[in-house]
Structures are given as C-alpha cells and as structure tokens.
Amino acid sequence: MSYVGPGFEPPQPRRSRRGPMTVAVAALVPAALVGWLVYEAVADTGGGRSGAAPVTSSSATGSATASTPQDGRRSATPPDRTPATTRAGAGPLAGKVVVIDPGHNPGNFQHSSEIDRKVNIGTNRKECDTTGTSTNSGYAEARFTLDVARRLRTLLEKQGATVKFTQDGDRPWGPCVDERARIGNEAHADAAISIHADGAPTGDRGFHVIAPASVHAGSADTRRIAAPSRNLGERVAGSFVRVTGSAPSNYVGNGTGLVVRSDLGGLNLSTVPKVFIECGNMRDSKDAASLTSGAWRQKAAQGISEGIVSFLRG
C-alpha cells in the first residue's frame, strides 16, 4: 500500500519511521535471518506483468500520480453493500471466523470524491481510502490484494473457517477504512488481516506485518486487542518467511518483519485481533518479480494462512 489516506497515511520520514514498534519474539529473528539467506540466494520466478497503475504514492512523500488499472469490470453493487459471508464446512477451524480485507479497490481511481472524503479513525479524521500503488510495469496493488485474498480464502475454508471479505471486487469503490474495520467487528472475527503491498522507494524491499499499538483516543480503543494482534502478527511473519523465502523488510522493523503503528484507521478502529501485511515493495524490481508471479502469490497466501491457523489453534 502507499502510505496515504486514513488507513495508509505516511509514518515519519523513511529512515526515521522507527517510532513505536515492537520487536517480535526472539524465535522470529532466526527465522527472519533464514528467510533473508533464502531471499538472497534464490530469485523467485517472475510472472506476467499486466494491468495498469492506479494512483501511485510514495511512502516518504505521500504524493500521488493518477493512472488507470487494467481490470475495468465494475459491479452495479451499491457502495454500502455488506459483502457476503462464505460458510465453510467441518475442519480444525470450524466455528472460527476470519475477516480478510483486500486493500484498496480497483475502481477507487474513478471515485476520487468518494474516497477523498474524511472519516473518523478515532484519533483524528482522514481520507476514506486511497487507490494504492503499483509496480513500475503497471500491476496494481488492488489487483494483487484481491488475488492473494481469494487464494487465502480457499486455504482457510479448507481448514473449516468461516471467511468474510470486506470487498471482493463486487463494489465500485471502497469501502472506507472505518467500514473495513466495522465489518470485522460486526462479524466478531477471531482474526482479521488486511492485505497490501508497499510503494516505497527502489532498494527498499522485503515484507513486514503491522500490528496495532495500544491506542485509547476518541472512538479508538485497541487496548484489549493490542497483545493478541501482536501475537497474530508474529505468527504470520514467521510463517511468511518460512513459506515464501522472502526477507523481512530492510527499511522498517529492524529485520524482524514486525512493526507496531498507531496511525492506521483500519487498526485503530478494530475491536478484534487484526494486522496488516505489506507483502513486498511493488516499486522494487526484485520484489516486483515475486509479487507479479502467480506461483509466489500462492506461497504468500499459504504463509499467511499458516500464521492465522497457528494463531487460531493457539
């Protein structure tokens, strides 16, 4: 994701973004180092780059440049429609509810007035949503997030979980970040995850998981979910390293793959355990080769799934 908008606003300047963050448990660091070695030694196979870019923004400056995503299909579904829930059968996660939030929406670029309006994120007011970022060749983050989310849904349903999306390409724009949080809350999700890819400068690479800080301001109160969310984040980060072979971020998180932030509306407004994952940096050619590969996206979904399953099964 690009760090602009209510749930995606920029942290402090890139090299000084190490504000409030929590280092993952000691066991995660060796796993992260193994992932780094694998990442440096083995180049993932790149997939076909297709699509065109939506608005792209820099994590350092928050600037944006408009362009057009390839998937022009639009639904007549009204913006305030609540996405349908998929009910899964028996399995080790039977009775568990997971909410998956595919970041942004391919149609956001056509609805600038709607996504630019301010919503309450608890600590202040921010834009409803953003268009996200893209690879330099035009593969849009909003397409990436939907693809990984759908793969993840299939894996979790095979484990018996009930899976609900915040959007499934079934609405013309959004939802706003406050609604994204509300969908998880109203579903009484046992775990929620928002899927993204970053838009940082070239040379910044690797994934990181974002957990909510303990926030108590206005309508935001994450004190009850901060610890379980960090637990979820640590498990997802550890599994992601192991399954994908990707390195933890080299620009945030001190090599742990885990960051704690207090400025994201999608986390501030959550009342259920929730994390974001930035699966890589779309603006870096090495990361982009992975992000545009269908085989790698399947690994990403598997890594996220195994972290969620580990969290839910304790």
Q: Element (H or E) spanning 41, and its range?
A: helix 28-41
Tokens found for residue 61: 């400056």
Q: Inform me whether the pLDDT recorded for 183 exceeds 60.
A: yes
| pLDDT recorded at residue 44 | 38
Give a yes or no: residue 6 inside a domain.
no
Residue 177 maps to a domain? yes
Please give the DSSP secondary-structure letter assigned to residue 289.
Answer: H
Q: Measure the CA–CA gap between 132 and 36, rounded to whole angstroms.
A: 26
Annotated active-site positions, please? 278
Q: Is 73 exposed, middle or buried (0-12, 13-18, 19+ CB in 10 A)?
A: exposed
Q: State how far the alpha carbon of 250 is from the alpha carbons of 1, 6, 15, 148, 299, in Å.
A: 16, 25, 10, 23, 21
Burial class (CB in 10 A: 0-12, 13-18, 19+), 80: exposed
99 in a structural domain: yes
Whether 46 has a pLDDT exceeding 80, the answer reads no
Q: In sequence order, which residues have a C-beta less than 8 Å from that of residue 281 and are 6 or more positions away?
A: 197, 198, 199, 200, 204, 205, 206, 287, 288
Domain membership of residue 45 (yes or no) is yes
Of 73-77, 193-197, 256-260, the one with minimum mean pLDDT is: 73-77
pLDDT band at 13 (very low <50, low <70, confident <90, very high): very low
User: What values do phi and psi take at 15, rounded to 5?
Assistant: -80, -5
* Better-scored residue on pLDDT, 157 or 53: 157
State yes or no: pLDDT of 102 exceeds 70. yes
For the stretch 53-68, pLDDT in tens is 333 333 332 333 333 3
Whether the per-residue pLDDT at 172 is higher than 90: the answer is yes
Range of the domain at 96: 14-60+85-313
Residue 138, in any domain of the structure: yes
Does residue 150 register a pLDDT over 50?
Answer: yes
Q: Look-up: residue for tokens 């983050």?
A: 141
What pLDDT, on the 0 to 100 scale, is given for residue 119?
96
User: 80 vs 280, which has greater pLDDT?
Assistant: 280
HSE, side-chain direction, 13 A CA sphere, residue 102: 29
- The answer as to whether 43 is a domain residue is yes
| pLDDT class of 90 with cuts at 50, 70, 90 | confident
Q: What is the pLDDT of residues 200-226, one digit of tens each?
A: 999 999 999 999 999 999 999 999 999
In the chain, the amino acid numbered 43 is A
Place 89 in a pLDDT band, splitting at 50, 70 and 90: low
Distance of CA 164 to the CA centre of its chain: 15
In a domain, 273, yes or no: yes
220: domain CATH number is 3.40.630.40
40 or 282, higher pLDDT: 282
Residue 1 lies in a domain: no
Across 87-96, 200-209, 266-275, 293-302, least confident range: 87-96
Our count of domains for the chain comes to 1
Q: How far apart are CA 212 and CA 21, in angstroms?
A: 9
Q: Which residue has the higher pLDDT, 305 or 74?
A: 305
| Banded model confidence at residue 17, pLDDT cuts 50, 70, 90 | very low
* pLDDT tops 90 at residue 74: no
